Amino acid sequence: MALHFERSEFDARRDRLMIEMTEKKLDAVLLFAQESMYWLTGYDTFGFCFFQCLVVKADGSMVLLTRSADLRQARHTSIIDKIVLWTDRDGANPAIDLRNLLNDLNLLGARIGVEYDTHGLTAFNGRRVDEQLQTFGQIADASGIVGRLRLFKSPAEIAKAEKAANLSDDALDAALPLIKQGGDEALILAAMQGAVFAGGGDYPANEFIIGSGIDALLCRYKAGRRKLTKNDQLTLEWAGVFHHYHAPMMRTVLTGKVSKRHQELFDAARAALLAVEKAMTPGNTFGDVFDAHARTLEAHNLTKHRLNACGYSVGARFAPSWMDLPMFYQGNPEPIAPNMTLFAHMIIMDSETETAMTLGRTYLTTESQPKPLSRHDLDLIVQ
């Protein structure tokens, strides 16, 4: 099997989930998030774009319901022993197959948790699941149970994150020689993704963000490429990825002369990121981290140019996004604790002057100050 962790690692994860299920009095959970399945079993696929479900009983036994296309995928990449297939056909309703499977597992009348809050369960399929289970047993929302367990990284997971961070650095190193007057965004993007692949990494859970000129103010990927001018701005957000573990970074790189406004925004972004680092310690919350960011940018008169979140947890993620929960936003009560991998980004977009500035990197939390996982410094990059 193509497993990326020792069997003992998966056993420990299963045991942690069983404890949570006991505390919540769940006889079984229905997992639809690909991240949950990967974390718990190693199962690695993009087949979650179709209906599939991992049933986990309170005794730790597991059964995967999926399509024939993923049968060998599950056998080869996971520790799952029992796999049940639903058949593609006109009018197929795999929620019925799921109900029948639960009946075969003696779960009729049981208290069953459902992982609703995931891209792996569309609203359409969620309604079908509810229709089949509404009289089958007692249904509870189990969203976030596995997600919160994944928030705290084991030593083996931290090693994956550190490797991913090395690949992030390699991607920036590959891009920098190409960022200059006349530099082609297409070649920059190819060099960055190529560096990740060449280092043994994977595709990211979402596209790298690249944009220059006015497009440097965008926080999402868009189609279309341009070439850099003499005095230009290039915003990049990318992630090294290793065994699906992500370590994002974010930078706005300048070509030519540094404008006064660019320098002002960079100074504010750097000050805000350093303030966030100080707040990213046990005893504080995710909300406290956001507040440190907001206070700093307010002191620089940039409140209207900042975003309403400044980062999030990262780990093993699948499409459509490498963003994980919890996030740094106002009032988030989730405590900062050791062994979290967290991405903090300072994003300042001044639409009035069409000036962009970003600065971000991934951290490992500790008993005290967080450890940056990037080898790059926080200096303004001018090519």
Average confidence (pLDDT) over 311-323: 98
Q: Which residue has the tokens 């080898």?
A: 375
Q: What percent of the chain has pLDDT over 90?
A: 99
Over residues 5-41, the pLDDT tens digits come to 999 999 999 999 999 999 999 999 999 999 999 999 9
Residues of the chain with CATH 3.40.350.10: 7-150
- Give the Cα separation of 253 and 216 in Å (integer): 10
pLDDT at 1 over 80: no
Selection from 286, 194, 183 nearest residue 238 by Cα? 194
Contact 281, 336 (CB under 8 A): yes
Selection from 291, 247, 279 nearest residue 368 by Cα? 279
Say which CATH topology domain 7-150 has. Creatine Amidinohydrolase; Chain A, domain 1 (3.40.350)
pLDDT at 2: 87
* The token pair that represents 330 in the structure block: 């106002």
Contact 20, 28 (CB under 8 A): no
Question: What single-letter amino acid sits at 175?
Answer: A
Selection from 198, 171, 145, 159 nearest residue 315 by Cα? 159
152-382: CATH number: 3.90.230.10
- Give the Cα separation of 34 and 3 in Å (integer): 16
**Average per-residue pLDDT for the chain:** 98
- Give the Cα separation of 38 and 47 in Å (integer): 12
pLDDT at 145 over 90: yes
Residues of the chain with CATH 3.90.230.10: 152-382
pLDDT at 339 over 70: yes
Over residues 249-269, the pLDDT tens digits come to 999 999 999 999 999 999 999
Selection from 189, 181, 140, 192 nearest residue 20 by Cα? 140
Average confidence (pLDDT) over 126-134: 97
Over residues 223-246, the pLDDT tens digits come to 999 999 999 999 999 999 999 999
Q: How far is CA 163 from the centre of its chain?
A: 16
User: In sequence order, which residues have a C-beta less than 8 Å from that of residue 345 and are 6 or more positions away?
Assistant: 237, 248, 250, 310, 311, 358, 359, 360
Phi-psi region of 244 (alpha: psi -120 to 50; beta: other; left: phi over 0): left
Cα atoms found within 13 Å of the Cα of residue 170, Cβ hemisphere only: 19
- Give the Cα separation of 30 and 46 in Å (integer): 18
